[in-house]
Structure 1
Amino acid sequence: MRTIDYTTSLPGASHWSLEVRRGSAMRLTDISGDGNVGMLFYNPRNLLERYNAPDSLKCQHTFKLTAGHCLYSDMGRIFASITHDSFGWHDTVAGTSHKSAIDKRWGKRDYQSHGNQWLQNGFDAFLVELAKYGLGRADIAANLNWFSKVATDDNGAIMLDTSARKAGATVDLRFEMDTLVVLHTCPHPLDASEEYPRADIRIDLGAAAPIQEDDLCLNSRPENARGFANNALYHIGI
């Protein structure tokens, strides 16, 4: 990030949304090392355009997300690039947590009975934020899970690799187009912790450094160069 102009902390089991402008940067920090940030992207000028997890993985020949990777829309454009990452392995295949799974793992709690100690789930957290923009259940796409690494066992079952957790881990996003960002800090759907995790996440917002010819994200894959070209075409006249 070139500058940090705004900083906030999002408590665990919370949700937030904001429009991030092209040329801005966002830094996420897992303060305790126990965090998970579920995130979705939408084009605020055309909410039908949203994050496409399969294309983001397929065109970059990867199963994980880390520095050098771009986050694609379903129109072949790049919402954001990962310019820095001290964690090294972020998930975008496992989805988000649901109320039924949270109730089964940690017990049923609701706000009316338990106040702020109730147990929020990622799916409902997304719905609360999406409703602010006229979006709903049908608009939830496959999401990212920052600071969560998944692995497979010998039988092919996917599990959360908790050994990868790092207190103070950071990831920086550079936004390549105006983007509606929807996020929550609810547990990863594969989290098997004994107690419901409530990990705070710090969010820094500011200006991104200009893209240089040797930019890691631009040059990491030939497909990314085409993605940046699609963005350039989209922004003609703006």
Structure 2
Amino acid sequence: MNTLLTPTDAVDIDTRWQQLAPDLPADKVLFSDVIPGGCHWSWMLPRGVTLRLVAQGAGANLSLVLYNARQKLERYNMPDSLKAQHTAHYSRGHVLMSDMGCAMASITADSLGWHDPLGMLLDTPRLHDKYGEHSYQQYRNGMYRAGRDGLLIEIGKYGLTRRDLVAPVNFFSKVSVDEEGRFRFHEGHARAGDHLDLRLDMDVIVAVSTAPHPLDPRPDYAPAAVGITAWRSGPAAEDDYCRAFRPECARALHNTDMHYLA
């Protein structure tokens, strides 16, 4: 089990990865950090980098969106990804596909076996209705943040706007559909130490929020932190697990590979 950290731990940022991902080779690690619960962040990262995401507390949620860093009109497409892979949830082997049929990222390792692509984002009206209002003016870093607002702030740093915000993947959360066609949120799905590896299959803009899942029934605003370590894994090999997972995954990875022939 990975050693868990809090955002306030006095750990050198160059060695934080040793607690979050001790099995990774030091010469391949790019950076490591802990994103506090309710916060948001973003990066522009190249193809062949893998992100290890580690839940720092029970009930963690990390909402993630992806955009092609070379051509921002291409972005993660939830309906196409789910239809192509005949699934309503993500786990190891699944590929996050773009609206142009390319692989943007692949789940290469996963301790949970279920991540939610359907539950969308917590917005400000729902946040206030459910948890009350804690503004920055009064509570500073203790303010309550909505996932939708956090992702809009992050993608805005790259010239993207409200119209560019796509449906996210809610990692560490589980939502199923009952016999009446209603969403059911599974409490206690993620535990501290649960993790996944997300390989980036093209140059991407990655934006994340650790705000609560919009269907989380817990009455108190207490989102868990998520640790993140980026490392150089290289692109998908010919015998890659995700490439062999489904024919549709192989096609999407091939389509991306064709853009990097040079």
TM-score normalized by structure 1? Answer: 0.95
Identity of aligned residues (%): 39
1:22 to 47, 50, 59: 47
**What does 1:148-159 align with in structure 2 at a 5 Å threshold?**
148-159=173-184
- CA RMSD after TM alignment: 1.4
Of 209, 214, 233, the residue aligned with 1:208 is 233
Q: Following TM superposition, by how much is the alpha carbon of 1:114 offset from its aligned partner in structure 2, in angstroms?
A: 2.1
Q: Which runs of 5+ in 2 are unaligned?
A: 1-23
How far residue 28 of structure 1 moved from its aligned partner, in angstroms, is 0.1
Partner of 2:90 in structure 1? 65
> Cα–Cα, structure 1 residues 208 and 99, in superposed 2: closer, same or farther, change >3 Å?
same
Q: Which amino acid aligns with 1:147?
A: F
1:226 aligns with 2:226: no
* Structure 1, unpaired ranges of 5+: none
1:104 aligns with 2:118: no
Q: Verify the 8 A CA contact 1:20 1:178 in the aligned structure 2.
A: yes
Contact 1:34 1:197 in 2 (8 A): no
Residue 45 (structure 1) shift: 1.2
How far has the Cα of 1:210 moved from its partner? 5.6
| Letter of the 2:259 counterpart | Y
Q: Which protein is richer in strand relative to its size?
A: 1
For residues 169-180 of structure 1, the aligned pairs below 5 Å read 169-180=194-205
Match of 2:191 in 1: 166
Aligned to 1:43: 68
- 1:113 aligns with 138
Residue aligned with 2:253, SS: helix
CA contact (8 A) 2:55 2:190 kept: no
Using the alignment, how far apart are the partners of 2:115 and 2:51 within structure 1? Answer: 16
Alignment of 1:92 with 2:129, yes or no, is no
Q: CA, structure 1 residues 56+225, in 2 after alignment: closer, same or farther (shift >3 Å)? A: same
- TM-score, normalising length: structure 2: 0.87
If asked which structure has higher relative contact order (CA below 8 Å, sep 6+), I would say 1
| Whole-angstrom distance in 2 between the partners of 1:34 and 1:66 | 17
Contact 2:50 2:198 in 1 (8 A): yes
Which secondary structure state, in structure 2, belongs to the residue aligned with residue 124 of structure 1? Answer: helix
Number of residue equivalences = 237
Residue 92 of structure 1 contacts residue 144 of structure 1 at CA under 8 Å; is this kept in 2? yes
